């Protein structure tokens, strides 16, 4: 699973004098060269300006043009990267340009490169941030999932998409101004730690459901805990029975795979500091249960544990960062299968809170496992609880694949999360959760039903959870549309690890200043 690793270093220097496989410089629209591009232009008697004037590179955002043996330079290649309009150039455009440059270098024969993109001016943005974005975006696009491809005789993995003789891009030198080197180093560490968590979350999502079982998730958490020295506890079925988790166990009872309840504790804040609790939905495969899903694209329901993956990924990131904050991770994990023992529509389950639930649709299982985890979270006296779940198809209909749905019983917490999403370019959108929606969950036979009908499906799902989160500040992120991509680019995205990390880093800064 160790996906292509790029080694980074930070340096100060000039683009025209350096010896590299590939120097990466930016070009804006309207024939406007960045400083680094101008420097190369100056030593090459207007070579770059000429190309731009001819229209071979129009500066369109994320377009690229690879040049070879540019006169006056010592490097084999110069990669021009389009930056779009100079007046529009901000974080998002910057990351798009970085991604495009990584793709172009990877497609070339260059094994190392020197990028000057981190030196581009972006208002309000520190060198720390710029380099963090650059490292994360670079590692994000160079991610490859080859854990389960056949190993060849040389020990390398089979790659049917790549020409075997092609060299791989492995080293990137990030050039910044001399005064920014220290900040850039800390930004690099941040970006790498974030990418490590994102990559782990992608791996867990991408693994097939016959490998990534509840037991596998528990073992992954345990080995992370060993590696980084944080506490991990895994509860098995008998202990969950003792705790009275009838709702979670109801979902688990239709599967041969034993359910697990994972508790991770990163306690690096002051003893007196109340922890942030992250709760991740860990359905390692969602068939729908007796309310069986249709067959098309059902394979994608292996991604129904991406909430759990994001919690484990975030733990890896904050452990790498040694973040001075108290954070607890809770993961209820099981399969949702149809079976002779599976729950039926009409069954009534008793949750750990004591509230009874009429199961009208066994495919609305995420909320059934999360509600018991939310009740369990009470014992930590949390400062905030955030659950992350691929909870509803309705959320995908509402927001598509760009933003995660954000629901909360606390305005301040919601704004903190929205801001973290903006800063990390991993956005969420605040959805309403007014009391008006609550009666949709009324049941004639239990305290509530587990579904609220077709209308406002992501909201009624959040309303259901809110009934178990009354004792603390709580937010819910519905990541059904953002945790993975379908189609040709099918794969986990690692979202919302960037949002969660940003939120926790901001909380740690607040706690320690």
So which residues are the catalytic ones? 293, 367
Quick one: which of 368, 373, 451, 499 contacts ligand BES (CB under 6 A)? 451
- Taking the complex as a whole, the smallest distance from the CB of residue 364 to Zn ion amounts, in Å, to 8
Nearer to ligand BES by Cβ, of 82 and 214: the residue is 214
- Taking the complex as a whole, the smallest distance from the CB of residue 209 to ligand BES amounts, in Å, to 13
- Taking the complex as a whole, the smallest distance from the CB of residue 297 to ligand BES amounts, in Å, to 8
Tell me if 371 contacts ligand BES by CB under 6 A. no
Taking the C-alpha atoms of residue 174 and residue 118, their distance in angstroms, rounded to an integer, is 7
Tell me if 366 contacts Zn ion by CB under 5 A. yes
Contact indicator for 436, 422 with CB cutoff of 8 Å = no
Contact indicator for 360, 450 with CB cutoff of 8 Å = yes
First and final CA of the chain: distance in angstroms? 38
| One character per residue 290-309, x = contact with Zn ion (rule: CB under 5 A) | --------------x-----
Tell me if 358 contacts ligand BES by CB under 6 A. no
Residue 349 interface partner, choices Mn ion, Zn ion, ligand BES, none, CB cut-off 5-8 Å depending on type: none
The CA distances from residue 161 to 146, 170, 178, 502, in Å, are 12, 18, 40, 34
- Taking the complex as a whole, the smallest distance from the CB of residue 349 to Mn ion amounts, in Å, to 15
Tell me if 106 contacts ligand BES by CB under 6 A. no
Tell me if 255 contacts ligand BES by CB under 6 A. no
Write out the binding residues for ligand BES, residues 263-322 only, by CB under 6 A. 286, 304
The phi and psi torsions of 350 (rounded to 5 degrees) equal -105, 120
Quick one: which of 286, 335, 358, 473 contacts Zn ion (CB under 5 A)? 286
Taking the C-alpha atoms of residue 281 and residue 289, their distance in angstroms, rounded to an integer, is 16
Binding-site size for ligand BES (CB under 6 A) equals 16
Q: Is 196 helix (H, G, I), strand (E, B) or coil?
A: helix
Tell me if 443 contacts ligand BES by CB under 6 A. no
Quick one: which of 41, 140, 363, 372 contacts ligand BES (CB under 6 A)? 363
Q: Is the peptide bond before 496 cis (omega within 30 degrees of 0)?
A: yes
The CA distances from residue 124 to 91, 129, 130, 423, in Å, are 10, 10, 10, 12
Strand residues in 179-275 grouped as ranges (E): 231-235, 260-267
What's the maximum distance between 2 C-alpha atoms anywhere in the chain? 82
- Taking the complex as a whole, the smallest distance from the CB of residue 245 to ligand BES amounts, in Å, to 18
- Taking the complex as a whole, the smallest distance from the CB of residue 292 to Mn ion amounts, in Å, to 10
Query: How far is Cα of residue 447 from the mean position of the Cα atoms in its chain?
Result: 35
Nearer to Mn ion by Cβ, of 40 and 451: the residue is 451
Copy the structure tokens of residue 334: 């099981």
Taking the C-alpha atoms of residue 94 and residue 130, their distance in angstroms, rounded to an integer, is 9
Write out the binding residues for ligand BES, residues 376-405 only, by CB under 6 A. 390-394, 396
Contact indicator for 105, 169 with CB cutoff of 8 Å = yes
The C-alpha angle 503, 230, 3, rounded to 5 degrees, equals 70
Tell me if 363 contacts Mn ion by CB under 5 A. yes
Tell me if 366 contacts ligand BES by CB under 6 A. yes
Residue ranges binding Mn ion (CB under 5 A): 286, 363, 365
Residue ranges binding ligand BES (CB under 6 A): 286, 304, 361, 363-366, 390-394, 396, 451, 457, 480
């Amino acid at each position: 699973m160790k996906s292509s690793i790029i080694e980074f270093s930070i340096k100060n220097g000039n683009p025209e004098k350096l010896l590299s496989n590939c120097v990466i410089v930016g070009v804006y629209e309207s024939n406007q060269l960045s400083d680094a591009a101008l420097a190369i232009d100056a030593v090459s008697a207007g070579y770059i300006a000429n190309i731009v004037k001819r229209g071979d590179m129009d500066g369109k955002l994320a377009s690229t043009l690879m040049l070879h043996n540019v006169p006056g330079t010592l490097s084999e290649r110069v990669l021009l990267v389009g930056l779009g309009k100079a007046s529009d150039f901000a974080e998002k455009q910057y990351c798009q340009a970085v991604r495009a440059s990584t793709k172009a270098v990877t497609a070339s024969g260059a094994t190392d490169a020197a990028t000057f993109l981190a030196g581009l001016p972006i208002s309000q943005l520190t060198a720390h941030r710029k380099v963090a974005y650059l490292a994360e975006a670079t590692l994000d696009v160079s991610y490859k999932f080859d854990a389960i491809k056949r190993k060849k005789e040389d020990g390398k993995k089979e790659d049917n998409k790549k020409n075997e003789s092609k060299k791989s891009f492995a080293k990137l030198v990030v050039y910044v101004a001399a005064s920014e080197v220290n900040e850039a180093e800390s930004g690099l560490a941040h970006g790498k730690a974030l990418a490590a968590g994102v990559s782990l979350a992608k791996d867990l999502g991408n693994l097939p459901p016959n490998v990534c079982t509840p037991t596998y998730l528990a073992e992954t958490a345990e080995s992370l805990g060993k590696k980084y020295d944080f506490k991990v506890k895994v509860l098995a079925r008998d202990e969950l029975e003792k705790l009275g988790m009838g709702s979670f166990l109801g979902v688990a009872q239709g599967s041969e795979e034993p359910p697990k309840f994972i508790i991770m504790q990163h306690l690096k804040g002051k003893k007196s500091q109340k922890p942030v609790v992250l709760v991740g939905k860990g359905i390692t495969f969602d068939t729908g249960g007796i309310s069986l899903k249709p067959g098309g694209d059902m394979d994608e329901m292996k991604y129904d544990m991406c909430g759990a993956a994001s919690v484990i990924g975030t733990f890896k990131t904050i452990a790498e960062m040694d973040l001075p904050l108290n954070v607890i991770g809770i993961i209820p994990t099981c399969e949702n299968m149809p079976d002779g023992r599976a729950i039926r529509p009409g069954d009534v389950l008793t949750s750990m809170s004591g509230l009874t639930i009429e199961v009208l649709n066994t495919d609305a299982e995420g909320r059934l496992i999360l509600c018991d985890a939310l009740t369990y979270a009470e014992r930590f006296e949390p400062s905030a609880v955030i659950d992350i779940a691929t909870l509803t198809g309705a959320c995908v209909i509402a927001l598509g694949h760009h933003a995660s749905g954000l629901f909360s019983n606390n305005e301040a917490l919601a704004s903190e999360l929205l801001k973290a999403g903006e800063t990390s370019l991993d956005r969420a959108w605040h959805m309403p959760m007014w009391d008006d929606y609550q009666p949709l969950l009324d049941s004639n036979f239990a305290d509530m039903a587990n579904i609220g009908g077709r209308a406002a499906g992501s909201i009624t799902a959040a309303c259901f959870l809110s009934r178990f989160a009354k004792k603390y500040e709580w937010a819910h992120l519905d990541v059904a549309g953002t945790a993975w991509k379908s189609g040709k680019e099918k794969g986990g995205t690692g979202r919302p690890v960037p949002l969660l990390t940003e939120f926790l880093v901001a909380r740690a800064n607040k706690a320690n200043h």
